[in-house]
Structure 1
Amino acid sequence: MSVHLRPAADDDLPGIGDLHYRSRASAYSHLLTPEALTFGSPAALGEWWTERWKWERDNHRLTVAVAGDTLAGFTYLGPGEDPDTGELSAIHADPDFVGKGVGRALMVDALGALIPYGKSAVLWVLEGNAVARSFYEKGGWTPDGVTRVEPVGSEPVLQMRYRIALGRQGGSA
């Protein structure tokens, strides 16, 4: 399967919302209640991404993975809260493309794109999401001991922060 990565265009944002909605429902189905998983809608997430991108496009990067004419995944990254640190805020693959190299291609691209933001990068992952944690750990990310509780829908969820030194990645995400 051939995947092409490119900067997102404004007309990608509704599709990004739809993909985000489906990716979240698939990845978190064993972790969250049905009410939390169905919070919002694909259209609402498209509107949310449109608004977010409008305000953050000057200092963030939104990349899409396309297979043929199909949106297969996306990443969103920018400056982190800590000095000299970038943050991978989102990486999502369409459920039909999970395990087919889309996530890996997006991660490799994101690691290079994060270098201008600092010496290291962080991301947040749901503590119970063993599949995502394994993916990140294979790519060289490690938990740094920081946690937070953030809502998904109205459900509070424990998240762990992972960190990676930039420019020295190993592993095989």
Structure 2
Amino acid sequence: MTITLRHATVDDLHAVGALHQRSRVAAYSSFLPAEALAEPTAEAMGSYWVERWTWERDDHLMTVAERDGRLVGFSYVGPDDAGDPATGLLNAIHLEPGERGRGTGRALMDDALATMRDRGWTRAALWVLADNAPARRFYERSGWQATGEHREEQIGRVGVPQLRYARFV
């Protein structure tokens, strides 16, 4: 029943997409309407990750978490989207809904921070949905602090506010 972390391969990406979709629905359904979470489908999310990986694999790293050989989570790290060369961006941590509270998210975050240190970044940043209180608490317990920066992302046809968090690695 232990968690194993490893670098993702292209063969993982469709399963990552399906997991990403399940994770979004479970995490966001308390504050987003079902129609906003119906798209993209799990298949479309897999295609999204294949396409994204094609363009970003040289400067981004995806780590997958497995429990007993089954994919249960992933993280995605890359350069800061604001262009700060000293900052790495934690683009995503997503878990199978049943993995919440089992230490998998913490293991993925610790691994992501170690990756950032290894790449020479001294700061880490991320964007979190403003209404995702459990995720915000998770990050805040781990030393992340809101920077005061805001942006809006579309999920389905719904505009969703995001907050930027940062910390030293």
User: TM-score over 0.5 for the alignment?
Assistant: yes
Q: How far does the alpha carbon of each residue in 1:43-98 deviate from its partner, in whole angstroms, 9 at most, with x for none?
A: 00000000100110000000000011210100001000232111000100110211
TM-score by length of 2: 0.96
Gaps spanning 5+ residues in structure 1: where? 167-173
Provide the secondary structure at the position in 1 that maps to 2:40: coil
* TM-superposed deviation, 1:12: 0.6
Match of residue 61 from structure 1: 61
Q: Aligned residue for 2:142?
A: 139
> Normalising to structure 1: TM-score of the pair?
0.93
- 1:88 maps to which residue? 90
1:40 aligns with 2:43: no
Q: Secondary structure at the match of 1:151?
A: strand
Aligned CA distance change for structure 1 residues 164 and 147 (closer, same or farther; 3 Å) = same
For 2:29, the equivalent position in structure 1 comes to 29
- Structure 1 moving runs of 4+ over 3 Å: none
What amino acid maps onto 1:39 in structure 2?
Answer: E
Report matched runs for 1:1-173 at 5 Å: 1-80=1-80, 81-83=82-84, 84-115=86-117, 116-166=119-169
1:68/1:54 Cα in 2 relative to 1: closer, same or farther (>3 Å)?
A: same
| Alpha-carbon distance in structure 2 between the residues aligned to 1:31 and 1:123 | 20
Paired residue total = 166
- Partners of 1:82 and 1:143 lie apart in 2 by 18
Quick one: percent identity of the two aligned structures? 48
Give the structure 2 partner of residue 171 of structure 1: none
What is the CA-CA distance between 1:31 and the residue it aligns to? 1.2
Partner Cα distance (1:69, 1:46) in 2: 19
Are residues 46 and 26 of structure 1, via their aligned partners in 2, closer, same or farther at CA, if it must alter by over 3 Å? same
RMSD over equivalenced CA pairs, Å: 0.9
The one-letter amino acid paired with 2:40 is G
C-alpha separation between the residues in 1 aligned to 2:69 and 2:111?
Answer: 20
Q: Which runs of 5+ in 2 are unaligned?
A: none
